[in-house]
């Protein structure tokens, strides 16, 4: 039954991993603004086209 | 014909509208923004939301002060030789299109590296390269696309604040430990004497002990701190029995495990702390887009233009921070700027709007040599002044030096929970000691056990959770109904009120809808036509208001048209001249000296008459006052003159106090006086002129037409559209407090059951582990359901109107 040590150790390790991930995400400010990312996520398609479009407008940028 | 609306901002297109690129725009400003965006392939802005924009304002020279190094230093979040990061508050952020365009700013200017919008806070953080670029350019760019940042003195000396996330960390630690301890203690709930368990129970218990350490010493730290503070000041607050319970739980459990008496109460301990922190978290609802702490700094400019003679005797302008203004400095105040200090007028004339200070919205004419007080807004072009004092010595600012603004109100208020906890703590301790003594005679071995068991089971978890959940829920419901409270304490205070004091202008009356009446000789058709056409071109708010109510006439362009800022309009059409504007401008016959807001008309050099603007009362005012007068004393204090005394007397029950011509300090003094007569006062006001009164009253409510713009420091902000529901909000607050009281009774019942087990010496960890969460969860459910039911009244109320 010595396996119980291994099992306990593993289960606590898994729990600790999630705990650390939680702490890191809070520290990075993921919980500071919980609304804007939900909107920003929907812009993704728009941003992928960006490189192509920027080439077209590049001369204009220089003009300014 | 359906009215065309602006493709950019959605306003109705009037006659100066522009047709461009097959789209309608209400003004050239909107067209310019569209042009900028579409030329940079950012027209996706218009795909996300219809007409999302707002028209840009003309602001040349307004942001020159952003080139001053000292000012920059204060405003920037970070700066080095190449990069600068700044956070700006943009009140205009309102939809997903705003987020999109602002986060694509780098496509407009390559110097901008990245932008990040925080929508709830309406702030944007911009990182940009400084080579040939600066904060001034950033702000001008934002302004040119209709997103003018609001920079005030508040930004200037704000401490670089770090977010306090400690409660989330603590909640995380407690939740983590609670889950693991539950899982480790589970085997021992059932078969204590089994061989396998007996062998391994030490490792389980040891682990549980280890998990409980961070909970007791980190997550629960605030309770110990608060308990010690309470003991020092001789107030038995709710945190004392909680801290005692946690401490006894921990010591008893450690002793149990150490001497192998049992498995300890680590599950109950961690669960208790977790639930308590959850209650705290729930109570801590903050409206990040609102601020309840504003003072004059939020309204004041950061910098002002100083005029200085240089060596060759020529005047030159430079921007200096307002705190550096010294007596004797010559300052240039631009149009629509606020006077930051008390000063003397040097220019010939000035027209000042003191509505910010007095609440009365009429312009005051001043001539050279007059003394001007800080807080007035210059309304007729740029003027030169000489500063008499520094900012902090000025009259308006000294109001904030008063103690009402430095003391926190909560220090003097005892919450319901703390009131009860006094008796509760004494009761529990006496029961614990008594039963411990009794057991000392029956079975001395068990005496300590029983004593600790009583303290553990009576730990007022449910009691401590009732108020946070009940009041936190009401806070949220009020928020949905556009009544935003600073914290849950405000609800308890609202339940104890017995007097309501209203401000008049902007509170009982609206600032938006005006009643306009005409007095004088009637105008003929030609005059009317010319008047309408002249007003069409003017952007003055009064012109706009009058334009909206005049009947439609043929659209003609006047032969001659000139607008004099702060004075009026002069125009001519086919031999008919018209002067529209102030009394001096139109040579009005000043028969009565009654101050009023009016547009005067002078036709062919002869005075004709005037359009008088009256603020109209809000919808439902008389009904609201009728509902309130049965339960509360009512009063009105106004900064205005007594022009409408008769009307107000009819609204209020006889004998109510109605005071006029009150300055901010008078209002404050009035409230202090009423409080001396055992009145618990709710002050309902709108402007900074009410700030003192709002701070002094038990509950200060700021009415706001648009909650996104600024309101003075207060306890609650009410959207003007829900003004007529004040009675309903007060009723719900009262009910909320009675719900909390009834839940106290319920939690005491649970305590009695628990005490039975404790006193009879049969409290096992299992019973504790069941009873504690059961009581907490059922209390939370009870208060949540009941507060939701109570606030259904609010919904019915809003539908009936």
Per-residue pLDDT tens over the stretch B632-687: 888 888 877 776 777 778 878 887 888 888 877 788 888 888 888 888 899 998 76
Give mean pLDDT, residues B174-200: 82
Going by C-alpha positions, the residue among B290, B597, B237, B584 that lies closest to residue B421 is B237
What is the structure's pLDDT at A49? Answer: 46
Given this model, what pLDDT does residue B513 score?
55
How many residues are recorded in chain B? 801
Nearest CB to B119; choose among A36, A42, A43:
A36
DSSP code per residue over B301-343: -SEEEEEEE-TTS-EEEEEEEGGG--TT-EEEEPTTPBP-S-E
**DSSP states along B214-227:** HIIIIITHHHHHHH
Tokens of B75: 């405003």
Interface check for A63 against chain B (CB to CB < 8 A): the answer is no
Per-residue pLDDT at B345 exceeds 70: yes
Which positions in chain B touch A39 (Cβ < 8 Å)?
96, 99, 119
Tokens representing residue B111 in the block: 């110097």
- 8 Å CB contact between B670 and B406: no
A/B interface, count of CB pairs below 8 Å: 68
CA distance B393 to B398: 7
Band (B786; pLDDT cuts 50, 70, 90) = very high
Arithmetic mean of pLDDT, B766-774:
82
What is the pLDDT, as a whole number, of residue B406? Answer: 58
Sorting pLDDT into bands at 50, 70 and 90, what band is B751? confident
Residues near B134 by Cβ (< 8 Å), separated by ≥ 6? B66, B67, B72, B84
> Which of B703, B722, B704 is closest to B501 using CA atoms?
B703
Residue range B483-495, pLDDT digits in tens = 888 888 889 989 9
Backbone angles phi and psi of B705, in degrees to 5: -65, -35
Q: Is B96 on the interface with A (CB under 8 A)?
A: yes
pLDDT of residue B709: 58
Q: How confident is the model at residue B111 (pLDDT cuts 50, 70, 90)?
A: confident
Nearest to B184 by CA among A20, A7, A2, A19: A7
In the stretch 267-306 of chain B, residues with CB closer than 8 A to chain A read none
* E-state strands within B196-300: none
* Structure tokens belonging to residue B307: 């005029």
Beta-carbon separation of B120 and A33 below 8 A = yes
* Shortest CA distance from A23: residue in chain B: B169
**CB-based contact B203 A4, cutoff 8 Å:** yes
Q: What pLDDT was estimated at residue B647?
A: 76
Chain A residue numbers touching B169 (CB-CB < 8 A): 23, 26
A35 touches chain B (CB under 8 A): yes
> Of B471-480, B506-515, B530-539, which range is least confident?
B506-515
- In sequence order, what are the residues at sequence separation of 6 or more whose Cβ sits closer than 8 angstroms to the Cβ of residue B321? B68, B70, B71, B74, B156, B302, B303
Which of the pair, B33 or B60, is modelled with greater confidence?
B33
Q: Looking at the partner chain, which of B40, B117, B168 has a beta carbon nearest the beta carbon of A36?
A: B117
Q: What percent of chain B has pLDDT over 70?
A: 85
- What's the average model confidence in pLDDT over A29-44? 79
Q: Does B483 or B96 have the greater pLDDT score?
A: B483
Which three-class secondary structure state does DSSP give residue B236? coil
Among B103, B107, B165, beta carbon nearest to A26: B165
Residue in A5, A27, A54 nearest the CB of B107: A54
| Ranges B32-41, B47-56, B112-121, B535-544, most confident | B112-121
Is the CB of A36 less than 8 angstroms away from the CB of B172?
Answer: no
CA dihedral B763, B764, B770, B773 (to 10 degrees): 70
3-class secondary structure, B702: strand
Of B117, B176, B196, the CB nearest to A15: B176
pTM for this predicted structure: 0.76
CB B717 within 8 A of CB B711: yes
pLDDT at B739: 92
DSSP three-state, residue B443: coil
| pLDDT tens-digit readout, B69-78 | 777 877 888 8
Contacts of B110 in chain A (CB under 8 A): 61
What radius of gyration do chain B's Cα atoms show? 33
Antiparallel, parallel or unpaired: β B371-372 and B343-345 = antiparallel
Q: Report the C-alpha gap between B76 and B155 in whole angstroms.
A: 10
In this complex, do A1 and B196 lie within 8 Å of one another by their Cβ atoms?
yes
Is the Cβ pair A26, B168 closer than 8 Å?
yes
Question: Could you give the CA distance from residue B691 to residue B689 in angstroms, rounded to a whole number?
Answer: 6
**Contact (CB<8Å) B200/A29:** no
| B315 pLDDT above the threshold of 80 | no
pLDDT, position B200: 81
Side-chain-side CA neighbours of B377 within 13 Å: the count stands at 18
Residue B525 has pLDDT above 90, yes or no: no
Nearest to B489 by CA among B546, B436, B417: B417
Q: What is the structure's pLDDT at A50?
A: 45
> CB of B145 within 8 A of CB of B56?
yes
What's the pLDDT band for A16 if we cut at 50, 70, 90? very high
Sign of CA dihedral B650, B656, B662, B665: negative
- Closest approach of B632 to chain A, Cα-based (Å): 40
Provide, as residue numbers in chain A, all residues whose Cβ is less than 8 Å from the Cβ of B107. Answer: 50, 54, 57
Q: What is the mean pLDDT of chain B?
A: 80
| Residue in A with minimal Cα distance to B288 | A33
Over residues B449-475, the pLDDT tens digits come to 888 888 888 878 888 888 888 988 998
Mean pLDDT on B198-214 = 88
Quick check: B205 and B265 in contact, CB under 8 A?
no
Question: 3-22 in A: which are within 8 Å (CB) of B?
Answer: 4-5, 8, 11-12, 15, 19, 22
- Residue B22 exposed, middle or buried by CB count within 10 Å (0-12, 13-18, 19+): exposed
Model confidence pLDDT, tens digit, residues A53-64: 444 443 434 333
- Predicted pLDDT of residue A52: 40
Q: Do A1 and B200 touch (CB under 8 A)?
A: yes
Q: What band does B738 get if pLDDT is binned at 50, 70 and 90? A: very high
B395 pLDDT higher than 80:
no
pLDDT band at B401 (very low <50, low <70, confident <90, very high): low
| B319 CA: distance to closest CA in chain A (Å) | 27
């Amino acid at each position: 039954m010595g396996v119980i040590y291994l099992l306990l150790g593993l289960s606590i390790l898994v729990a600790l991993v999630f705990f650390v991930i939680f702490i890191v995400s809070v520290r990075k400010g993921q919980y500071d603004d919980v609304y804007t990312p939900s909107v920003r996520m929907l812009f993704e398609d728009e941003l992928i086209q960006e490189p192509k479009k920027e080439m077209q407008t590049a001369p204009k940028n220089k003009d300014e | 014909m359906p009215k065309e609306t602006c493709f950019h901002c959605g306003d109705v297109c009037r006659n100066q509208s522009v047709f461009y690129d097959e789209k309608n725009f209400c003004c050239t400003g909107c067209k310019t923004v569209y042009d900028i965006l579409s030329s940079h392939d950012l027209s996706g802005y218009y795909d996300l939301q219809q007409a999302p924009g707002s028209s840009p304002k003309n602001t040349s020279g307004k942001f020159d002060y952003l080139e001053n190094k000292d000012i920059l230093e204060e405003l920037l979040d970070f700066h080095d030789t190449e990069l600068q990061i700044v956070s700006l508050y943009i009140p205009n952020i309102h939809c997903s299109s705003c987020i999109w365009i602002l986060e694509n700013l780098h496509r407009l200017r390559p110097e901008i590296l990245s932008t990040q919008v925080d929508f709830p806070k309406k702030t944007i953080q911009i990182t940009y390269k400084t080579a040939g670029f600066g904060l001034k350019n950033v702000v001008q760019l934002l302004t040119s696309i209709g997103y003018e940042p609001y920079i005030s003195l508040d930004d200037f000396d704000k401490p670089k604040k770090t977010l306090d996330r400690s409660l989330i960390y603590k909640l995380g630690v407690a939740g983590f430990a609670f889950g693991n301890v539950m899982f480790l203690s589970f085997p021992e709930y059932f078969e204590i004497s089994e061989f396998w368990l007996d062998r391994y129970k030490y490792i389980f218990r040891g682990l549980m002990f280890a998990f409980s350490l961070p909970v007791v010493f980190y997550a629960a730290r605030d309770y110990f701190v608060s308990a010690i503070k309470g003991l020092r000041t001789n107030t038995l607050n709710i945190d004392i029995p909680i801290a005692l319970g946690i401490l006894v739980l921990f010591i008893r459990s450690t002793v149990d495990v150490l001497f192998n008496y049992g498995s300890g109460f680590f599950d109950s301990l961690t669960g208790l702390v977790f639930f308590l922190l959850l209650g705290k978290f729930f109570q801590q609802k903050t409206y990040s887009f609102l601020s309840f702490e504003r003072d004059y700094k939020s309204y004041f400019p950061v910098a002002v233009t100083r005029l200085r003679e240089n060596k060759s005797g020529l005047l030159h302008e430079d921007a200096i921070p307002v705190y550096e203004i010294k007596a004797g400095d010559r300052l240039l105040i631009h149009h629509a700027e606020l006077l930051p200090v008390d000063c003397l007028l040097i220019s010939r004339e000035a027209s000042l709007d003191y509505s910010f200070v007095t609440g009365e919205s009429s312009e005051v004419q001043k001539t050279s040599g007059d003394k001007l007080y800080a807080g007035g807004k210059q309304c007729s072009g740029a003027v030169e002044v000489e500063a008499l004092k520094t900012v902090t010595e000025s009259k308006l600012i000294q109001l904030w030096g008063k103690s009402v603004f430095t003391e926190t109100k909560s220090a003097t208020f005892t919450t319901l929970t703390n009131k009860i906890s006094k008796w509760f703590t004494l009761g529990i301790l006496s029961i614990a000691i008594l039963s411990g003594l009794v057991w000392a005679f029956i079975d001395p071995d068990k005496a300590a056990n029983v004593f600790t068991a009583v303290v553990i089971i009576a730990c007022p978890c449910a009691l401590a959770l009732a108020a946070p959940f009940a009041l936190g829920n009401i806070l949220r419901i009020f928020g949905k109904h556009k009544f935003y409270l600073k914290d849950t304490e405000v609800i308890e205070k609202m339940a104890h009120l017995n007097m309501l004091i209203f401000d008049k202008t902007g509170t009982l009356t609206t600032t938006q809808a005006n009643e306009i009446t005409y007095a004088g000789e009637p105008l003929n058709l030609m005059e009317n036509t010319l008047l309408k056409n002249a007003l069409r071109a003017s952007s003055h708010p009064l012109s706009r208001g009058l334009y909206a109510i005049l009947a439609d006439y043929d659209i003609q362009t006047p032969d001659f048209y000139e607008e004099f800022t702060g004075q009026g309009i002069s125009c001519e059409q086919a031999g008919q001249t018209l002067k529209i504007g102030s009394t001096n401008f139109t040579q009005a016959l000043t028969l009565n000296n009654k101050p009023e807001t009016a547009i005067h008309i002078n036709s062919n050099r002869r005075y004709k008459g005037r359009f008088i603007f009256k603020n109209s009362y809000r919808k439902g005012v008389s009904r609201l006052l009728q509902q309130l007068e049965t339960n509360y004393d009512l009063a009105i204090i106004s900064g205005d003159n007594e022009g409408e005394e008769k009307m107000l007397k009819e609204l209020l029950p006889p004998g109510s106090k109605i005071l006029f011509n009150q300055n901010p300090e008078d209002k404050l003094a009035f409230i202090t006086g009423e409080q001396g007569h055992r009145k618990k006062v709710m002050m309902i006001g709108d402007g900074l002129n009410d700030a003192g009164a709002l701070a002094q009253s038990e509950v200060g409510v700021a009415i706001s037409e648009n909650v996104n713009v600024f309101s003075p420091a207060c306890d609650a902000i009410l959207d003007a559209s829900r003004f007529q529901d004040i009675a309903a909000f007060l009723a719900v607050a009262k009910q909320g407090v009675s719900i909390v009281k009834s839940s106290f009774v319920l939690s005491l019942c649970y305590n009695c059951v628990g005490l039975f087990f404790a006193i009879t010496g049969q409290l096992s960890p299992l019973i504790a582990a069941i009873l504690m969460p059961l009581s907490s969860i059922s209390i939370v459910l009870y208060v949540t359901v009941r507060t939701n039911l109570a606030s259904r009244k609010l919904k019915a109320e809003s539908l009936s109107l």
